[in-house]
Amino acid sequence: MTDKNKITIFGLGHIGLPTASLFADKGFNVKGIARDDEKLRLISKGISPIDEPGLSELVKITVENGHFTVSYDEVEAVSSSNIMIIIVPTPMDEQNRADLTAVKEASKTISQGLKKGDLVVVESTVPQGTCDNIVIPILEESGLKAGEDFSVAYTPERAIPNNTIYEMTHNARVIGGYDERSADRASELYKHITVGDVIKVKNLITAETVKLIENTYRDANIALSNEIAMICEELGVDAIEAIKVANYHPRVNLHIPGPGVGGHCLAIDPYFIVETAKGKGMQAPLISTARIINEGMPQHVIKLISDTLAEVGQEIKGSTIGLLGVAYKGNVADARETPAKDLINILKEKGAHVYATDPYTPKEGIRALGAEPVDMGQVLNCDCVVLVTDHDEYRDIKPEMVKSPIFICTRPILNPEDFEKSGIIFRGIGR
C-alpha cells in the first residue's frame, strides 16, 4: 500500500460506514464525511452509530489504529486524497423521482479539490445515466477532463442489511467505468475488500442498470406473490403451501407474500427505472403496477383486520390493535418505508388504539411511527394482534401466550392450525 492510497468517503450510512472501515482495515487511510455532527462525533471516538454485525469492532479498530478518521473540512479531505467514493443517500421526492441533491453536492465538493490522477467512484443507487449526465459534468467544473485527467467508476452497493459486512466482502462486485482505465482502477481497488468476483461491465450506465434491475426484480417478484396470495385467500387455497411447492420446480422462485415492501431499496429503486423510462416517453407499466400492488398491501391487511373483527361483532373504531414488529423486515431495527407506518396511520384514522412492540426498533422509533410502544404481553392482549415483521423472536409465539381472540399473521412464520385449535381466529396473507 503506497501513501497515494488515501480515500475520502462521502456518506457514512449503512453502506458508507462499513465501506470506510473495510478499506481502513486493509491499510488505506480513509477520511469519512457526513453531514451529521453527532454521527461524526461518535465515529471519531471509535463508536459505530449503526447496528450491524461486525461493524462496531471494525470501526473501533480502524479509528484506534488511525487509519479511519472523520473530516469536517470536505475540500481539504478531497485535496489530500486520491480516491473519492460517493455513498450518499438518494431518497425519493414527492413525485417519486430520485432526489440527487446529496450526490450533486458531493460531486461539487470533489470538483473543488480534484487533481490529475484521481479516481472518483459512485456507489449510491441512481437513475440510469446519472454518472454520465450529472456527476461527470459537475466534476469537470474543476477544469479537468474525465478519462484524460481523472477516472470515474460506478459500483453499486449490493449488501443486505444485517449481513452487510459478509456480503460486502463476499458478493460479486459489479464495476462500470467511464473508460477502460477507470474500470481497471476501480476493480483493483475493490479487490482489496472483497474475495467475491469483480465483474467489469461495458460502461457506467450498464452498472447503474444492473443495480436497479436487482431490486426491481425482487419487488416485481414479491408483487406477483402478493397478488397470487390475495386471489388464493378468496379461493380458500393456502397460497403459502402452493408457492412453496411451486418453488420446487427448478425454474420457479417466487418470493414470500407479506404486508408490503419496505426498506430504503426495493420500495424506491423501481421508481428510478420508471423515471428514466418516462424521460424516454415510455411508461414501464409492469414495474409501476408492481409498486401499486406492494404499496396497496397495508390496505389489504386493514381489510383482513376489519373483516375478522366483524366476525366477532367488532369494528376497527374503538378497538385495540397490537402490532408485533414495526421494522421493515425481520431481525433489523430499521423502520424506513416500513409497511407498519401505513398500517398505523390507517388504523388510527379509522379510530383504533394502536400499540406496538419490536425487539429491535427502539421505543422512540415506534412512537415516531404513531403507535404506543408496549411490551409483547400487552400486544398479545389487544382485541386484535397483527404480526407485521418476521423477527425470529416471533417464531416461538405459542397460542397459549395469545390472550386476543384474533391473530392476523402477515408473514408465514407461524402454523395457523396450532392457533385455530386453541380457538383463536387466525388469518394470514394468502391463507
**Hunting for cell 412492540 — which residue is that?**
357
Q: Which is nearer to ligand SAJ, 79 or 162 (CB)?
A: 162
From the list 132, 179, 214, 295, which residue makes contact with ligand SAJ (rule: CB under 6 A)?
214
Selected binder of ligand SAJ within 49, 113, 262, 325 (CB under 6 A):
262
Minimal distance, residue 97 CB to ligand SAJ, in Å: 18
Least separation, in Å, of the C-beta of 94 and ligand SAJ?
21
Shortest reach from residue 61's CB to ligand SAJ, in Å: 24
Under the binding rule (CB under 6 A), the answer on residue 261 touching ligand SAJ is yes
Q: Helices (H) and strands (E) in the chain — how many of each?
A: 17, 14
**Sheet-wide strand order for 151-154:** 68-70, 29-33, 6-10, 83-86, 119-122, 151-154, 173-177, 198-201
Annotated catalytic, 211? yes
166's CB contacts (< 8 A; 6+ apart) are 53, 54, 159
CB of 310 to ligand SAJ, least distance (A): 26
Q: Minimum distance between the CB of residue 52 and ligand SAJ, rounded to whole angstroms?
A: 12
Compute the distance between CA of residue 162 and CA of residue 391 in angstroms, rounded to an integer: 12
Q: Which of 22, 256, 273, 387 binds ligand SAJ (CB under 6 A)?
A: 256
CA distance 290 to 138: 34
User: Is there a catalytic annotation at residue 232?
Assistant: no
Which is closer to ligand SAJ, CB of 67 or CB of 329? 329
242 binds ligand SAJ (CB under 6 A): no
Calpha distance 285→303 (Å, rounded): 26
Place of cell 477532463: 145
DSSP code per residue over 249-309: STT-------S---SSSTTTHHHHHHHHHHHTT---HHHHHHHHHHHHHHHHHHHHHHHHH
Alpha-carbon distance 300 to 182, whole Å?
Answer: 48
Residue 165 interacting with ligand SAJ (CB under 6 A): no
- 18 near ligand SAJ (CB under 6 A): no
3-state secondary structure of 86: strand
Site pattern 175..194 for ligand SAJ (x: CB under 6 A): --------------------
**Which H, E and C letters describe 208-229, residue by residue?**
HHHHHHHHHHHHHHHHHHHHHH
Asked if residue 215 binds ligand SAJ (CB under 6 A), the reply is yes
- Taking the least distance from each CB to ligand SAJ, the nearer of 70 and 335 is 335
Beta carbon of residue 402, minimum distance to ligand SAJ (angstroms, whole number): 23
**36 DSSP β-pair partners:** none
Catalytic option among 31, 39, 200, 211: 211
Does residue number 158 form part of the binding site for ligand SAJ (CB under 6 A)?
A: yes
Using CB under 6 A as the binding rule, whether residue 341 contacts ligand SAJ is answered as no
For residue 113, state whether it binds ligand SAJ (rule: CB under 6 A): no
Q: Closer CB to ligand SAJ, residue 13 or residue 49?
A: 13
328 belongs to the binding site for ligand SAJ (CB under 6 A): yes
Nearest to residue 115, comparing CAs of 142, 77, 87?
A: 142
Please report whether residue 228 would count as binding ligand SAJ according to CB under 6 A. no
Task: Establish if 161 lies at the interface with ligand SAJ (CB under 6 A).
Answer: yes
What's the chain's Rg over C-alpha atoms?
24
The footprint of ligand SAJ on this chain (CB under 6 A) covers a number of residues equal to: 20
CA separation for the pair 188, 136 (Å, rounded): 21
Q: Is 389 helix (H, G, I), strand (E, B) or coil?
A: coil
How far is 322 from 112, CA to CA, in rounded Å? 53
Q: Which is nearer to ligand SAJ, 150 or 272 (CB)?
A: 272
Q: Which are the catalytic amino acids?
A: 211, 265
Site residues, ligand SAJ (CB under 6 A): 125, 157-161, 214-215, 218, 222, 255-256, 258, 261-263, 265-266, 328-329
